[in-house]
Amino acid sequence: MPVILEIEKVTKRYRKSGGFFSSGELFTAVDEVSLNLEKNSTLGVVGESGSGKTTLAKIILGIEKPDSGRVLLNGRELSKLSGGELRRARRGAQMVFQDPYSSLNPRMKVKDIVLEPLTVTGEKITDGEKTASDLLAKVGLKADALYRYPHEFSGGQRQRIAIARALATGPGIILADEPISSLDISIQAQIMNLLNELKKELGVSYIFISHDLAAVRYLCDFVAVMYGGCVVEYASAAELFRDTRHPYTRLLLSAVPDPDPYKKTVLEERREGSGAAPGPQACVFSDRCPRAVPDCSKQRPLYSEIKPGHFVRCPRTGDIEN
């Protein structure tokens, strides 16, 4: 499969807001992340809040520029483009947000909402009504929705409208940031089915940012686990859930309550972090890792391929038995 998105050693630092007279210290939100996304596949990005998932999404969309490293979308480096060229290149990646109640402008009609990605990138639309109703049809909504307002729709229908909007520019990639977590269970299944159908029909790829590991396992072909700005483990979804190697991934999986009362889930042993982030020469997880040895706080582990297609940023994975 051809690669549609290449992320090479991307790093992004922010300055924490300091006191009145002092500038804050630097904080690494995304730390040397390298990932590839194949055409027509789904990459899951999981991790807790503050792990850098959303910053990574912003960099992919060209909203933030990385401090180092580069992002190639369809072979073009977004941070090198500007003006009209950037606007056109950005059509290749679109976004679906978590909360369909705040991501749709309540004063805009559905037709204008779904056409907006085209109008803001300066595209001439000859037949807006037809374009918009075609987009709605793709997400299972009827054309009578065109002239209604977001408040007339349920949460699941609004998320469909948001997906129709993301499809407007015919993007190769849709970035979905927790697209189902604010929806009810029965509606979550409908939206997951829709995402899979669109993938099959239109050949789009997804980056699915989520903390719902059951949904990730169901939807994703590949999974990247982030912690402290780093990708600590990456593999195909089947491989990652079968042969989980990184101590953080194991902790994360052990924390997910199984909807089967006969399969008791027990949270893996863990340590409470000190609160202060480990220094730049230490492993990002070393202060909470139950398997840490003194070396872990002295040397940052390399991101290495332990078997074909399975990458881990931990030198001690050999000690972990499944």
Partner 1 sequence: MTDKAAPILEITGLSVSVSRDGAPTKILRDISYRIYPGETLAIVGESGSGKTIGALSVIRLLPPGGVIDSGSVLYAGKDLAAATEEELRGVRGAGISMIFQEPMTSLNPVMTIGLQLAEPLMEHKGLSYPQALPLCEKLLEKVGITDAKSRLAQYPHNFSGGMRQRVMIAMALACGPDLVIADEPTTALDVTVQAQILDLIDALKKESGMALALITHNLGIVAQRADYVLVFYSGRVMERGPAAEFFKSPSHPYSRALLNSLPKMSDKPGEPLKTIEGLPPSFDEALQGCPFSPRCPEAFDKCRTAEPPEFETGDRRGSKCWRSERGFKI
Residues that bind partner 1 (CB under 8 A): 48-49, 154-156, 184-190, 192-193, 196, 211, 213-215, 217-219, 221, 237-238, 251-252, 254-262, 264-265, 267, 270
103 vs 169, beta carbon nearer partner 1: 103
49 vs 281, beta carbon nearer partner 1: 49
- Measure the CA dihedral 163/167/171/176, to 10°: 0
Q: Are 56 and 30 in contact (CB under 8 A)?
A: yes
69 vs 155, beta carbon nearer partner 1: 155
Instruction: Locate the DSSP E strands across 132-189.
Output: 173-177
d(CA 292, CA 124): 58
- Measure the CA dihedral 96/101/103/109, to 10°: 110
Minimal distance, residue 121 CB to partner 1, in Å: 32
> 181: which 2 tokens?
């977590």
248 vs 303, beta carbon nearer partner 1: 248
Minimal distance, residue 85 CB to partner 1, in Å: 37
Residue/partner pairs of 219-222 with CB below 8 Å, 24 or more apart: 219/42, 219/44, 219/192, 219/195, 220/42, 220/43, 220/44, 221/38, 221/41, 221/42, 221/43, 222/38, 222/41, 222/42, 222/43, 222/44
DSSP helix/strand/coil, 105: coil
Minimal distance, residue 78 CB to partner 1, in Å: 30
CB atoms within 10 A of CB 185: 7
Beta strand pairing status for 3-15 and 26-38?
antiparallel
d(CA 274, CA 278): 9
Q: Are 5 and 37 in contact (CB under 8 A)?
A: yes
Minimal distance, residue 145 CB to partner 1, in Å: 14
Minimal distance, residue 215 CB to partner 1, in Å: 6
Minimal distance, residue 114 CB to partner 1, in Å: 21
76 vs 217, beta carbon nearer partner 1: 217
Q: Of 234, 109, 98, 249, which Cα lies nearest the Cα of 177? A: 98
186 vs 281, beta carbon nearer partner 1: 186
Residues forming beta bridges with residue 202, ordered by sequence position: none
Minimal distance, residue 265 CB to partner 1, in Å: 6
Minimal distance, residue 148 CB to partner 1, in Å: 16
Minimal distance, residue 189 CB to partner 1, in Å: 4
259 vs 308, beta carbon nearer partner 1: 259
d(CA 134, CA 185): 28
34 vs 236, beta carbon nearer partner 1: 236
120 vs 238, beta carbon nearer partner 1: 238
